[in-house]
Amino acid sequence: MNAHLDILCESSLFRGIAPDVLAQLMESSPIRHLEPGELLLSPDVPNQFLYIILSGKLHVLVGNGNTVASLPIVPGQCAGEMSIIDGGRVSAPVIVDENVTTVAVNVDVFWKLTEAHPLMARNLLGILVERMRNTTEALTVSLQMQQAYERWAFLDPLTTAYNRRWIEHTLPRFLDRVRNEGSAFTLGIFDIDHFKRFNDTHGHPAGDMALRATVHAVQARLRPTDRLARMGGEEFCLLLPDTPLAGARIAGERLVRAVAEHPIQGLDGEVLPSITISLGLATATPDMDSAGLIAATDAALYRAKSEGRNRIAD
C-alpha cells in the first residue's frame, strides 16, 4: 500500500496534495487488476471513474479514419479524465498492454476532492493540455508514416519508378478525365530489347544497372506532368496526359534515342554495351477502360518489335 501511495503522491494529478488526503482516497477507492488485452475504457460503455495507474502499462488509441496513433499510459498517469469532464462519454479506447493495477476513483468522489483542493483542477488542466499536445504530435507522426508508406507502396524498389499497383490505381483517373473533360491522353508501353540476352551475357547485377539506366534516361526527358512506371521485368509504362498521338510520337522518338545513347556502367566501373527499347503508343478514347487501352498499347508495342525494334509504333 505504501508503494501505491508513493505513486499517487508523485503523480501529476495529485501534485501538492497532502499524503494523508491521498491515503483516505486509497481507502475509499477500489483497486482493479487487469490483464493484457483487456479494455479499461471503451467508447461503447459510459465511464464513471478516473483511473490512476499504479503498475503496468496501457495505451490509448487516438485519432479517426485511417490516421490512428497509440499513446502510452504508465504508472503515475491517469486514464478516463476526458470522460469524467464530458459526463461519462468515452472518446477513445484504452487497452491494457501489461498487467495493470489501478485505483478507480468515482466521479463524485473526484469532484468533491477537487472542490476541497482547488489545486487539483489546475493539475487536471495541465494533464489535459499535455495529453492534447501528445495526441497532436502522435497523429502528425502517424500521418507522416502513413504517407511515407503509401509513397513507398507505389514505388518499384529497384528503379524507384512507380510500380504496377500505382498504374492500376492511377490510370482509371486519367481515363475519367478523357471521358468527363475531353482531354487527350496517350499511353505508352515499352520494354528493353533482348533483355534476357543482356542478362545472360553480363549477369543479373548488370541487368539491374541497365534497368536503372533506362529509367534515368527516360525520366530526364519527361515533362513534369508525365509519369513513368515499371509494369514488371523489363516492361515499363508511360502516362502522357494532355498529349495527342502526334505529340506522343515526338516524345517517344526522343525517348528511344535517349535510351540508346545512355551509357550503362557496371558495378566494377566497366562500361557495358548500350541497350535499346521498343515503344508502343495508343491514345485513349472516351469509351476505353484501362484494360482496353493497355491492350491497344500492347498491340502497338508488338508492331514496334515486329518491325525491327529500337523504334516506336502506334
Q: What is the pLDDT of residues 127-174, one digit of tens each?
A: 888 877 877 776 676 666 666 666 667 888 888 889 999 999 899 999
Based on the domain organization, do 261 and 304 belong to the same domain? Answer: yes
Based on the domain organization, do 172 and 290 belong to the same domain? Answer: yes
Give the model's confidence band at 237: pLDDT under 50 very low, under 70 low, under 90 confident, else very high: very high
Considering its fold, how many domains does the chain have in total? 2
Based on the domain organization, do 61 and 90 belong to the same domain? Answer: yes
For residue 290, the model assigns a pLDDT of 95
Based on the domain organization, do 6 and 140 belong to the same domain? Answer: yes
CA 229 to chain centre: 20
With respect to residue 272, please indicate whether it lies within any of the assigned structural domains.
yes
The string of pLDDT tens digits covering residues 92-132 is 888 898 899 999 999 999 899 889 998 888 888 888 888 77
pLDDT at 4 over 80: yes
pLDDT at 297 over 80: yes
Report the CATH number at residue 109. Answer: 2.60.120.10
Based on the domain organization, do 169 and 304 belong to the same domain? Answer: yes
With respect to residue 159, please indicate whether it lies within any of the assigned structural domains.
no
With respect to residue 153, please indicate whether it lies within any of the assigned structural domains.
no
Based on the domain organization, do 57 and 128 belong to the same domain? Answer: yes
The string of pLDDT tens digits covering residues 5-25 is 888 888 888 888 899 988 898
For residue 148, the model assigns a pLDDT of 60
Based on the domain organization, do 126 and 182 belong to the same domain? Answer: no
Of the three residues 95, 113, 147, the one that is the final residue of a domain is 147
Based on the domain organization, do 108 and 141 belong to the same domain? Answer: yes
pLDDT at 69 over 90: no
Based on the domain organization, do 129 and 217 belong to the same domain? Answer: no
Contacts of 4 (CB under 8 A, 6+ apart): 26, 31, 54, 101, 103
Range of the domain at 37: 2-147
Residue carrying the nine cell digits 495507474 = 53
Based on the domain organization, do 171 and 308 belong to the same domain? Answer: yes
With respect to residue 96, please indicate whether it lies within any of the assigned structural domains.
yes
pLDDT at 295 over 70: yes
SS (H, E, C) the chain: CHHHHHHHHHCCCCCCCCHHHHHHHHHHCCEEEECCCCEEECCCCCCCEEEEEEEEEEEEEEEECCEEEEEEECCCCEECHHHHHCCCCCCCCEEEEEEEEEEEEEHHHHHHHHHHCCHHHHHHHHHHHHHHHHHHHHHHHHHHHHHHHHHHHCECCCCCCECHHHHHHHHHHHHHHHHHHCCCEEEEEEEECCHHHHHHHHCHHHHHHHHHHHHHHHHCCCCCCCEEEEEECCEEEEEEECCCHHHHHHHHHHHHHHHHHCCEECCCCCEECCCCEEEEEEECCCCCCHHHHHHHHHHHHHHHHHCCCCCEEC
Of all residues in the chain, what percent carry a pLDDT higher than 70?
Answer: 93
pLDDT at 3 over 80: yes
Based on the domain organization, do 113 and 190 belong to the same domain? Answer: no
With respect to residue 248, please indicate whether it lies within any of the assigned structural domains.
yes
With respect to residue 277, please indicate whether it lies within any of the assigned structural domains.
yes
Based on the domain organization, do 168 and 309 belong to the same domain? Answer: yes
Of the three residues 87, 118, 147, the one that is the final residue of a domain is 147
